[in-house]
Amino acid sequence: MPLRPDTVAKIQDYARRYPSAQSAILPALWAVQYEQGYVTDEALAEVATHLKLPPSLIEATSSFYSMFLTRPEGRHEVMICVNAPCMLRGADAIVAYAEQRLGIRDGQTTSDGAITLRSTIECLGACGGAPMMQVDHRFEENLTPDRINAIFDHLRTAPAFHEQPPAEKKPARRTPTVSGEITRSGPSGARARTRKASK
């Protein structure tokens, strides 16, 4: 599937913005994933033509980075960190609870295509709010079973980001915070940004 004209325009912009077009590879791949939900070989080849670089170079770079998906997954991605600081606050139990609630195992997608669940050893930068999860890259912290239920219920019906009507530019919202405390920075039931359901 060829890239949409607006995505192509973005990629060409990136190529001009950097001192070297090669630096535009990561932003270009983000634009691809943002549009199509994952990065196909076909899209890699197209990025190569727009950046005027060999396809092998695009692939060499893209395969290094864990956030680019190579196959379709659920409309929403739920990531739970299980590194030591999160483990100390009960992350393992949260993973077990999420698995049971969704009826899937780590790495799987629910049968309705709504949610892909992943536990990760990569710290997601919310250790102070552990146990935590990232829902489509929005933070959810200090999780309780009730909160998890509410998040999952919302995701079951929420469309993936690219299927929503164009969002109006949201005001830069300040999260309520007490000095010295980390806050939940995502709106609850965060919107999907980068994933697309399997076709």
Point out which residues bind another protein (CB under 8 A). Answer: 17-20, 22-27, 29-30, 57, 60-61, 63-68, 82-85, 87-90, 92-94, 96-97, 121-131, 134, 137-139, 143-145, 172-175, 177-183, 185-186, 193
Q: Which is nearer to another protein, 20 or 111 (CB)?
A: 20
Which of 81, 151, 182, 197 contacts ligand FES by CB under 6 A? 81
Smallest gap, in angstroms, from Cβ of residue 165 to another protein?
19
Q: Which is nearer to another protein, 34 or 199 (CB)?
A: 34
Q: Which does 174 bind (CB under 5 to 8 A by kind): ligand FES, another protein, none?
A: another protein
Long-range contacts of 58-64 (CB under 8 A, 24+ apart): 58/25, 58/29, 61/25, 61/26, 62/25, 62/29
Q: Which of residues 83-122 bind ligand FES (CB under 6 A)?
A: 83, 85-86
Which residues lie closer than 8 Å to 79 by C-beta, 6 or more apart?
118, 119, 120, 124, 133, 134
DSSP 75-100: SEEEEEE-SHHHHHTTHHHHHHHHHH
Half-sphere exposure of 178 (CA within 13 A, CB side): 1
Which of 32, 58, 69, 132 contacts ligand FES by CB under 6 A? 132
Smallest gap, in angstroms, from Cβ of residue 89 to another protein?
5
Structure tokens at 128: 């102070």
Smallest gap, in angstroms, from Cβ of residue 82 to ligand FES?
7
Beta bridge partners of 51: none
Torsion of CA 159, 160, 162, 168, to 10 degrees: 60
